[in-house]
Amino acid sequence: MTSTTPEHITVLGAGILGAAAAHHLSRRGARVSVIDAQTAGDRATTASFACVNGSAKSEPALAALNDRGVAEYHHVAAALGDAAVRFTGQHFVATDAESLRVAELRVHAARARGYGGELLDGAALREREPRMRLDTVPLAVAWFDADGWADPDAIRRHFLTGLQVRQRRATSIVPTSSGRLRVEFADGDSTDTDRVVNATGAGAPDIHLPAARTTRGAASFGLVVSVDTPVDLVSTVIRTPRLGIRPDGHNRALLHSHDVDAVITRGEITTHDATEILLDRARHMFPDAVGINARRATIGPRPIPPDGAPSVGALAAVPGYYELSAHSGVTLAPLLGRLLAEEILTGAHNPLTAPFRPDRFRKAPS
């Protein structure tokens, strides 16, 4: 007789990726437990610039995945409205030879695969974003109208609706003689489960797997600063070599910069000083907007798998164990959460995720 008892699936990590997987698993009838080692604000999701985009990728397999990730967000927008997702488009501003090369590459790749993109001049940018001032005239502006931004915490909460999150730190996952998996915790306790989804992001390599050894990826830290503004500074997502800025609600904006993230990751600057750098850049870029003030600065770890691409799917050496990790976690979460749930419950492997299986990082134990 076939059992009708739903499988028990434990999802480790309640960031946007883990939340999306738990949501789709639960909707399809699985009995889901969500466990997270961190507090609600101490994760990559909260510290994300949360630009929903396909324009930043040019490698074909990864670009195809991101394009589908953006398309998946239209379902999220239909469910949650424009308070959670807005397809405002994105301007990538080239002010030097290197950023011009990147802009041209991204537009060429996006247009070639049908995502869409075009190169504009500085006058077109000034017309669209009249409050912004740049020290130098842009060499070109790459425009991607399919891009946008999201409120990742609102989406994460939506995915976790009806699911309880327990705060515990997993330390190891051990196959048992019954064919199930035992999750062991830092407090000495453990729980047995049919399947495990490891969506702990930068913490994934720290969870011991006796049957396999992982090639660790890099870890970086990201800082975003939400600011109150006297007016709406921008209407689209804007990336320049010195500052990324996007809307964050009425009279609010979100700031980010890759070069500031780099010095934070190297430990060369405090969060307070990094926040001041971003505020100074924003005030310089919008000199007529008196009163740009920080309302919240958030720093968090950003997972980067060894080759920079996502890690999603089953690990052959540990039956019942699955990984879900991506540097572009916000863009990919709704799509990857759904595809992984389908793989776990039906065994179907979507061709989109085939290049990103976690087995590509694994080595046999010595």
Residue spans of alpha helices (H) in 113-252: 122-128, 152-159
54-85 b/e with 16+ CB inside 10 Å = b?
Answer: bbbbbeeebbbbbbbbbebbeebbeebeeebb
Mean pLDDT of 317-343: 94
Residue 67 lies in a domain: no
**Residue 103's CB: how many other CB atoms inside 10 A?**
26
Residues 211 and 224 in one domain: no
- pLDDT value, residue 1: 34
Residue 255 lies in a domain: yes
Same domain? For 287 and 346 the reply is no
pLDDT digits (tens, 9 = 90+) for 263-279: 999 999 999 999 999 99
pLDDT of residue 83: 83
Q: What separation, in Å, do the N-terminal and C-terminal C-alpha atoms of the chain show?
A: 41
- CA–CA separation, 321 and 317 (whole Å): 9
Least confident residue range of 29-43, 112-126, 295-309, 315-329 = 29-43
Structure tokens at 134: 């740049």
pLDDT for 231 equals: 94
Does 3 score more than 90 pLDDT? no
Least confident piece of the model among 23-37, 43-57, 80-94: 43-57
pLDDT at 72 over 70: yes
Q: Is the predicted pLDDT of residue 300 greater than 90, yes or no?
A: no
Residue recorded with tokens 């920079």: 308
Q: Kindly state whether residues 291 and 313 are assigned to the same domain.
A: no
Range of the domain at 110: 90-145
The 3-state DSSP class for residue 336 equals: helix
Rounded CA gap, 191 and 75, in Å?
A: 35
> Do 314 and 198 have their domain in common?
yes
- The answer on pLDDT for 157 being more than 50 is yes
pLDDT of 208-236, one tens digit each? 987 665 555 666 889 999 999 999 999 99
pLDDT given for residue 304 in this prediction: 75
How far apart CA 234 and CA 179 sit, in angstroms, is 54
Inside any domain, residue 12: yes
Contact call for residues 153 and 46 (beta carbons, < 8 A): yes
Residue 40 pLDDT greater than 60, yes or no: no
Question: Is 75 domain-assigned?
Answer: no
Cα dihedral 264, 268, 272, 273, rounded to 10, equals -110
329 and 341 within one domain: yes
Percent of the chain with pLDDT over 70: 93
Is residue 328 located within the same domain as residue 210?
A: yes
Question: Would you state the pLDDT for residue 220?
Answer: 82
> Residue 239, SS3?
strand
Q: Are residues 230 and 291 in the same domain?
A: yes
Could you report the per-residue pLDDT of 179-211, keeping only the tens digit for each? 999 999 999 999 999 999 999 988 887 899 876
For residue 330, the model assigns a pLDDT of 94
Residues 338 and 204 in one domain: yes
Q: Say if residue 50's pLDDT is above 70.
A: yes
Asked whether the beta carbons of 123 and 169 are under 8 A apart, the reply is no
Average pLDDT estimate for 12-38: 95
Is the same domain home to 224 and 290? yes
pLDDT at 307: 82
User: What per-residue confidence (pLDDT) applies to 175?
Assistant: 94
What mean pLDDT comes out for the span 322-335? 93
| Residue 55, in any domain of the structure | no
Strand 181-185, strand 140-144: pairing: unpaired
**pLDDT at residue 211, rounded to an integer:** 64
Report the helix count and the strand count for the chain, using DSSP H and E: 8, 22
* Mean predicted lDDT score pLDDT of the chain: 91
Question: Of all helices (H) and strands (E), which one includes residue 278?
Answer: helix 271-285
Rounded CA gap, 166 and 35, in Å?
5
Q: Which CATH number goes with the domain that contains 248? A: 3.30.9
- Give the pLDDT of residue 245: 98
DSSP character for 324?
A: E
Mean of pLDDT values over 347-359 = 93
176, 199: one domain: yes
Tell whether the model's pLDDT for residue 286 goes beyond 90.
yes
Number of domains observed in the structure of the chain: 3
> Is 159 in the same domain as 265?
no
Q: Quick one: average pLDDT of 230-248?
A: 96
Calculate the alpha carbon distances from 208 to 115, 174, 200, 221, 307 in Å: 40, 8, 13, 23, 21
pLDDT value of position 44: 76
This prediction's pTM = 0.93
- What integer is the mean pLDDT of 50-66? 94
Cβ atoms of residues 195 and 7 within 8 Å: yes
Of 361, 354, 266, 362, residue with least CA distance to 305: 361
Q: What is the pLDDT of residues 101-130, one digit of tens each?
A: 999 999 999 999 999 999 999 999 999 999
Residues of the chain above pLDDT 90, percent: 79
Residues contacting 302, CB < 8 A, separation 6+:
44, 47, 48, 201, 202, 219, 220, 221, 222, 261, 327
Residue 327 to residue 272: CA distance in whole angstroms: 24
**pLDDT score recorded for residue 234:** 97
235 & 282 share domain = yes
Collect all residues with Cβ–Cβ distance below 8 Å to 292 and sequence separation of at least 6: 227, 228, 229, 230, 233, 253, 279, 282, 283, 286
Task: Grade residue 39 by pLDDT with cuts at 50, 70 and 90.
Answer: low
The pLDDT confidence band at residue 365, using thresholds 50, 70 and 90, is very low
